[in-house]
Amino acid sequence: MIVLFIVAVTLLVMGIVILIGKGDNLIAGYNTASEEEKSQYNIKRLRGLIGGLLVVLAPMTALLLVDDTTAAVWSFVSLTFVLSIVVVILANTWAKKKNH
């Protein structure tokens, strides 16, 4: 129970830090990319996607504190999987600059 709470709070804090523009180094892949690769992305859109995903996942994780049945866990895993795929697709399309 405590671990889920800590994970939910961590996701929320990381999401907020990314959304306010202070956590670009928390974005996997972006933090290790070369300057040339970084220039291919619209960082504001990328921050919105990744930060938004983390902020959405935080309360979903916290809901598992209330209902930890098998159905709730599988719903959480399924929704997280779908949201992650959508974010990856958008990060490689919508968040990329058009001139590259």
Q: pLDDT per residue over 40-91, tens digit each?
A: 999 999 999 999 999 999 999 999 999 989 999 999 999 999 999 999 999 9
**Paired tokens of 75:** 């719903």
Predicted TM-score of the model (pTM):
0.90
Total residues belonging to the chain? 100
Query: Distance (Å, rounded) from C-alpha 37 to C-alpha 43?
Result: 12
Going from N- to C-terminal start, the domains of the chain cover 2-24+34-91
CA dihedral (30, 35, 41, 43) in degrees, to 10, reads 70
Q: In whole angstroms, what is the distance from residue 3 CA to residue 51 CA?
A: 21
56 and 83 in contact (C-beta within 8 Å)? Answer: yes
The Cβ-side half-sphere exposure at 19, using a 13 Å CA radius, reads 14
What's the pLDDT at 100? 54
